[in-house]
Amino acid sequence: MDENKRILHTSYIFHNGRIQENLLKLLGKINAGRIAFVGCTSSTPAIITHQKTVDSRVAFITAARYFHPDLRALLIIGAEKFGLVTFDKNGEYRNYVSNSSCAPEPVISLISRRTGLISGHKGIQ
């Protein structure tokens, strides 16, 4: 991001277990002279020098609220688990519900009941 909070660069790559190799490949595409600050989530590899580390859930919530001030719910989807963050009518954090890596059904049922976003989902019978 620049000083006006505009995103300058984003990138994504499947690492296929070669995290450091692929991270260096991605970083090679960035003009390092334009980087003023590096913030990372707690899962960032130690090879990245950074000024601040925050919990990934806090990072997702902060970014979502910045770009969508009227946000009422946020679905965080990760490689092994996902969860639903809900906010009250004033936009304040209310709750977080997540699945275990083996049981997504409770969160899917919750999302379906609360939002109606998953069409035709009956939940656990």
Percentage of the chain beyond pLDDT 70 is 74
Same domain, 2 and 40: yes
29/7 Cα distance (integer angstroms): 15
Q: What is the pLDDT of residues 47-78, one digit of tens each?
A: 777 777 788 888 889 888 888 888 888 888 77
Q: Is residue 123 part of a domain?
A: no
Q: What is the largest CA-CA distance in the chain?
A: 56
Residues 33 and 77 in one domain: no
Looking at the structure, do residues 61 and 47 belong to the same domain, yes or no? no
Domain that holds residue 93: 56-115
Six token digits for residue 84: 């639903």
Q: Is 78 contained in some domain?
A: yes
Question: Does residue 93 sit in the same domain as residue 46?
Answer: no
Residue 124 inside a domain? The answer is: no
pLDDT of residue 100: 64
Mean pLDDT computed over 100-124 = 55
- Give me the number of domains the chain comprises: 2
